[in-house]
Amino acid sequence: RPEWLQQFWTSLYRQASQNQLPRPPQRPVPRIEEPKPEDVDQVHEKEKERIAVPKDVVSPPLPPPVVILENGINDSPGSPREGQTTPKASAAIPSDSVPAFTLSVPELAQQRQPQVEEKPTPAVTSSTSSTSMMMPPPPLPAAARGSLPANLLRQPGTSTLPLPPSSGGRPGGGPLPNRGPPSSSSGGGGSSLFPPPTHSTKPAKPSRAVVLTPGHSPLDWARLSGHPTADLRGLPKDTPYLRVTPSLLKKMTGRKGKDAWMVLGGRVYNITPYIPFHPGGEPELLKGAGRDGTKLFGEIHPWVNYEGMLAACLVGIYVSEEDGEAAAAAAKNGGVNGAGGGGSMEEMD
Tell me the closest approach of the beta carbon of residue 236 to ligand HEM, in angstroms: 23
The Cα 241–Cα 233 span in angstroms is: 10
Closer CB to ligand HEM, 145 or 301, in the complex:
301
Tell me the closest approach of the beta carbon of residue 161 to ligand HEM, in angstroms: 53
Closer CB to ligand HEM, 255 or 301, in the complex:
301
Closer CB to ligand HEM, 112 or 301, in the complex:
301
Closer CB to ligand HEM, 102 or 207, in the complex:
207
Tell me the closest approach of the beta carbon of residue 179 to ligand HEM, in angstroms: 30
Burial annotation 35-74 (CB, 10 A radius, 16+ → b, else e):
eeeeeeeeeeeeeeeeeeeeeeeeeeeeeeeeeeeeeeee
The Cα 258–Cα 304 span in angstroms is: 26
Tell me the closest approach of the beta carbon of residue 324 to ligand HEM, in angstroms: 23
**Dihedrals φ, ψ of 20, to 5°?**
-115, 20
The Cα 14–Cα 215 span in angstroms is: 108
- Applying CB under 6 A, the residues found at the interface with ligand HEM are 207-209, 271, 274, 278-280, 284-285, 287-288, 293, 296-297, 300-301, 304, 306, 309-310
Tell me the closest approach of the beta carbon of residue 233 to ligand HEM, in angstroms: 15
Tell me the closest approach of the beta carbon of residue 198 to ligand HEM, in angstroms: 21
Tell me the closest approach of the beta carbon of residue 319 to ligand HEM, in angstroms: 20
* Dihedral in degrees, nearest 10, Cα atoms 122, 127, 132, 137: -90
Instruction: Indicate the SS3 state at residue 48.
Output: helix
Q: How many CA atoms lie within 13 A of 41 on its CB side?
A: 3
Tell me the closest approach of the beta carbon of residue 313 to ligand HEM, in angstroms: 9
CB-count exposure of residue 270 (10 Å: 0-12, 13-18, 19+): buried
Going 91 to 92 to 97 to 103, the CA torsion angle's sign is negative
Closer CB to ligand HEM, 108 or 222, in the complex:
222
Tell me the closest approach of the beta carbon of residue 218 to ligand HEM, in angstroms: 6
Closer CB to ligand HEM, 248 or 264, in the complex:
264
Closer CB to ligand HEM, 286 or 345, in the complex:
286
Contacts of 319 (CB under 8 A, 6+ apart): 243, 244, 245, 327
Burial annotation 94-116 (CB, 10 A radius, 16+ → b, else e):
eeeeeeeeeeeeeeeeeeeeeee
Closer CB to ligand HEM, 111 or 305, in the complex:
305
* DSSP run (H or E) holding 38: helix 37-51
Closer CB to ligand HEM, 81 or 227, in the complex:
227
Q: Evaluate whether 287 touches 279 at the Cβ level (below 8 Å).
A: no
Bridge-based pairing of strands 345-347 and 267-270 is unpaired
Shortest-Cβ-distance residue relative to ligand HEM: 280
